Amino acid sequence: MSRSTTAVLLSALVLPGAGHLYLKHYPRGIALIAISLACLWIFMDRAMQQASIVLDQVASEVGAVDVGQLSNLVTQTSNGPDSLVVTAASLVLAGCWVIGIVDAYRIARNQQNRNALSRTPPRQ
């Protein structure tokens, strides 16, 4: 498998920036990974907050829990002011993923072209 394919697969399937680390472009790779992990942390934090609110509301009610009622509670908590933060984090994460894939491919192709040029014998 070529270095460009490996770098693209790492960036696409593991985490944005993983392909950059494979290609030894550490600052870009670390920056993409840090931004991606921050976005994922926002998702997890908001999901835990939402789950906590829904569980508190369900626990405060006596009787059997209706699936429709549970669905309404989840919908109410997900339409709060934090939904804009989650939307922004989603867009940033998607952008990091696209940038990571395209940039890792570009860097790997440039490295392959430089290696091919350095191996060609000089013309006489």
Kindly report, residue by residue over 41-99, the tens digit of the pLDDT: 999 999 898 888 888 888 887 777 778 877 887 777 777 777 888 899 999 999 999 99
pLDDT recorded at residue 115: 85
Mean confidence (pLDDT) of the chain: 88
Q: Are 9 and 25 spatial neighbours (Cβ–Cβ below 8 Å)?
A: no
Give CA 70 to chain center in angstroms: 29
Top-confidence residue, 124 or 66: 66
For residue 120, pLDDT beyond 80: no
Cα 57 from Cα 76, distance rounded (Å): 11
Look at residue 12 in the predicted model and tell me its pLDDT: 95
Residues contacting 53, CB < 8 A, separation 6+: 77
Q: Give the phi and the psi of residue 27 in degrees, each rounded to 5.
A: -60, -45
- pLDDT exceeds cutoff 70 at 27: yes
Q: What per-residue confidence (pLDDT) applies to 122?
A: 63
Mean of pLDDT values over 6-19:
95
Nearest to 65 by CA among 76, 54, 75: 54
**Mean pLDDT of the region 14-19:** 95
pLDDT at 21: 96
Amino acid at 117: L
